[in-house]
Amino acid sequence: MNIEKLAEEYEKMIGYIVYVAEKPTEESINHIENELGIKLPSSLINFAKASKNYGNWLASLGADYDAPNHILSINRMLKLESKLPANFVVINVGYDEDYSCLDLETYNKIEDEYLITYWAPDVPLSQSPLSENFPSYMQEHINHWSKNA
């Protein structure tokens, strides 16, 4: 499934809007990547551009840098609390204090993707589900939400 279709399916399933986020721009992506010291996967960026309500589940990638649901705010908070493993960057808003993270040690340059790891402070990493890339991660969530709708 392409990213635009995935965003369309997400929009049908997302439900009540709790968080909003600004659309990513070239400037905001450069700012985020520079501060985090990573390359964001283009699939994540393109999904955020294609989805009106991406910020209800995913961390903001826009220029709203001080928003509590911004990728920089979430990661700063968790790093300050010394909770987040050093090789993880959170990409979702973290309802119930569990998070979906890019595992920086798994970047595939050819595919421009990372493994996405579920992380919660009280769950051993050996028991944390993995997704092979961002599109798979979103498809898994959409499938889960549709079964519970």
Instruction: Give me the chain's average pLDDT, please.
Output: 94
pLDDT in tens, 97-115: 899 999 999 999 999 999 9
CATH topology of domain 3-144: SMI1/KNR4-like (3.40.1580)
| % the chain with pLDDT above 90 | 83
Q: Is the pLDDT of residue 32 over 90?
A: yes
What is the Cα–Cα distance from 7 to 51, expressed in whole angstroms? 5
pTM of the complete model beyond 0.85? yes
Supply the pLDDT for residue 81: 83
What is the Cα–Cα distance from 94 to 29, expressed in whole angstroms? 20
Give, as one character, the DSSP assignment of residue 76.
H
Q: How confident is the model at residue 48 (pLDDT cuts 50, 70, 90)?
A: very high
CA-wise closest residue to 59 among 25, 85, 8, 24:
24
For 108, phi then psi, to 5°, come to -110, 105
Q: How confident is the model at residue 1 (pLDDT cuts 50, 70, 90)?
A: low
Supply the pLDDT for residue 97: 87
